[in-house]
Amino acid sequence: MDESLAQLIGYTAAGSLPVVLIGAVLLRLAGRRSLTTSMVVLVLIPILSALTGMIAVSGLMFTAELHRMLVVLAVVAVVTVPAAVLLGRAQARRTVWEKQIREQERAAERTRRELVAWVSHDLRTPLAGIRAMSEALSDGVVTDGADVSRYATQIGREVTRLSGMVDDLFEMSKINSGSLRLELGPVDLRELVDEVLAANRSTAERLAVALHARHPDTDITVAADDRALVRVLTNLVSNAIAHTPPGGLVSVSAGSDDGHAWARVDDTGPGIAEHDLPRIFDVAYRGTSARSPVAAGGVPPGSGMGLAIAAGLVHAHRGDITAENREQGCRFEVRLPLARQRVDVPM
């Protein structure tokens, strides 16, 4: 009895062990490529191991009992393999989703650290200037009327700059937290382009930068929040003006193709360094000195969040925003679905 049991165990192990080893190799190869394949292999290993073990025990004698067992194993394989495929795909989707969540959390944490560093640096600079000038005024160091007026004007500019930074920070926090609420309605993109150009024309003239608009005679209607879209275009146009040298040109155009509306802002500035392009829409990312904002002609250097805010608002509209270099200068392009093809944005 003991000898027969030992032989049974030996034959079973001899028949099933090769299947297990081959399955382990397949798992090692498939594990790096497909979770679904791994699940199928895991299901087939015990079924095929049982099959080869029984064949080894029977001594390759295909009796009626063995045939019945083969039918049972075949039915088990037919039932479990499709289930393994479905479970593998579901697990793969969950794994991808969890990976995306982890990446988003890491990106949010990285953005938070960058934002803290930005706040500690950029807000400190205007505050230090305001403190120094206010102390000079209060201590009577500055008494000349012209100097007092100049100091007061400069303090006003710095306060305006700080207010803009705080507004940008608040807007960015709403975008990152998902609490942004858009009031969608039919908007003619051409009207927004004209409005933004009118608001920025005086700044462009002060910096000796030509500002032109070009768009078709027909409506370019998108379903959008007009305030948010004006903010997008304003940020792009202001950015282009700030980086275009005197005598240069900033051109804003609008049109539509392939069911989408687009608005482009072209400038004749120094362009964007290639290694900066992938991060140009990151929060507080200013890139190399060639594309860094500088105060000129009374234009504040900005918060460093203008492009990030523009990108966040465009994505909230289910649109796309891109930046690329041209032969001279660079181009920012916003693309939004036309109104007739839009689906309401769930907020």
74 and 216, same domain (yes or no): no
Residue 264 has pLDDT above 90, yes or no: yes
Query: Is 267 within 8 Å of 291 (Cβ atoms)?
Result: no
pLDDT for 322 equals 93
pLDDT for 344 equals 44
Task: Determine the average pLDDT of the residues in 179-183.
Answer: 77
Strands of 43-197, DSSP E: 185-188
Q: How many other CB atoms are found less than 10 A from the CB of residue 170?
A: 10
Per the domain annotation, does 285 fall within a domain? Answer: yes
Domain that holds residue 48: 2-101
pLDDT for 1 equals 47
Task: Determine the average pLDDT of the residues in 200-227.
Answer: 91
188 and 95, same domain (yes or no): no
Which neighbouring-strand residues pair with 325? 330
Task: Determine the average pLDDT of the residues in 221-238.
Answer: 91
pLDDT for 255 equals 92
Residue 114 has pLDDT above 70, yes or no: no
pLDDT for 297 equals 47
pLDDT for 295 equals 43
The domain tally of the chain equals 2
Per the domain annotation, does 175 fall within a domain? Answer: no
For the chain, how big is the Rg over CA atoms in Å? 33
pLDDT in tens, 9-36: 666 676 677 777 777 777 677 665 666 6
Query: Last residue of some domain: 83, 101, 119?
Result: 101
190 and 329, same domain (yes or no): yes
pLDDT band at 343 (very low <50, low <70, confident <90, very high): very low
Place of tokens 């049991």: 5
Three-state secondary structure call for residue 285 = coil
Query: Last residue of some domain: 101, 136, 168?
Result: 101
Query: Is 39 within 8 Å of 88 (Cβ atoms)?
Result: yes
pLDDT for 240 equals 92
Give the residue, 281 or 87, on which the prediction is more confident. Answer: 281
pLDDT for 288 equals 56
Say which CATH number the domain at 262 has.
3.30.565.10
Residue 336 has pLDDT above 90, yes or no: yes
pLDDT for 342 equals 41
Query: Last residue of some domain: 101, 120, 151?
Result: 101
Per the domain annotation, does 140 fall within a domain? Answer: no
